Amino acid sequence: MLATSEIMFSKFRENRDEYMQSQREWLEVFNAALKPIHQTGWEDWLRDPFFEGTPIFSRVNRRMKKGIVINQILPSDDDLAFRAYLDIFADDSDVDLVEHVVITSVLSEETKEKARMLINAHLVHKLPSAEIERLCEILTCGSVGTRQE
């Protein structure tokens, strides 16, 4: 359960070292998820101008038009400790359009594993959008304090 998975780097907004360590943690998750296929063409993507952790980590593959966005939060920010959804950046643009998974989460061993699973499903197994959305839903529902529509 999330309650037993310790939150890491909870001072990431005030402490630039913690911010960068958090980025490294998510990079490791991303690399671990992609390891089975050694994909190339991934580059740093979205800016976080005020170092708020939204996003703390993002990667895009312009050729594939796919991306990953990870927003790091604290337990006090949201009743959900982990949420994920599929989104499209610049959906009116042929050039900039990117289908991406957004993960908004605290940083813990458990959420890292959830993120790895989701990134792997999206980028390695290339599951259809409907299945990615379903997986996002399942993982989000698995968090505490879920409010249903």
Partner 1 sequence: MQGGGINDSEAWTLTRPLEANEGRAKLLALQARLPFRERMMRLKAIADANAFIDKCEVAGGVSAQVSKSFMVSGDRNRRVDIEVISGVAFVPPPPPPTPTGQQGSLSC
Q: For residue 83, state whether it binds partner 1 (rule: CB under 8 A).
A: yes
Q: For residue 55, state whether it binds partner 1 (rule: CB under 8 A).
A: yes
Candidates 19, 26, 30, 89: give the one binding partner 1 (CB under 8 A). Answer: 89
Q: Which is nearer to partner 1, 4 or 94 (CB)?
A: 94
Q: For residue 79, state whether it binds partner 1 (rule: CB under 8 A).
A: yes
Q: Which is nearer to partner 1, 85 or 121 (CB)?
A: 85
β partners of residue 18: none
Q: What is the rounded distance in angstroms from the CA atom of residue 6 to the CA atom of residue 106? A: 10
CA 125 to chain centre: 17
CB 18 within 8 A of CB 12: yes
User: H-helix or E-strand containing 91?
Assistant: none
Q: Which is nearer to partner 1, 22 or 58 (CB)?
A: 58
Q: For residue 63, state whether it binds partner 1 (rule: CB under 8 A).
A: no
Q: Distances in Å between the alpha carbon of 21 and those of 25, 35, 143, 147?
A: 6, 21, 24, 32
Q: What is the rounded distance in angstroms from the CA atom of residue 34 to the CA atom of residue 59? A: 12
Closest separation in Å from C-beta 108 to partner 1:
18
Residues at the interface with partner 1 (CB under 8 A): 45-47, 49-50, 54-55, 69, 71, 77-80, 83, 85, 87, 89-90, 92-93, 96, 102, 104, 137, 140-141, 145-149
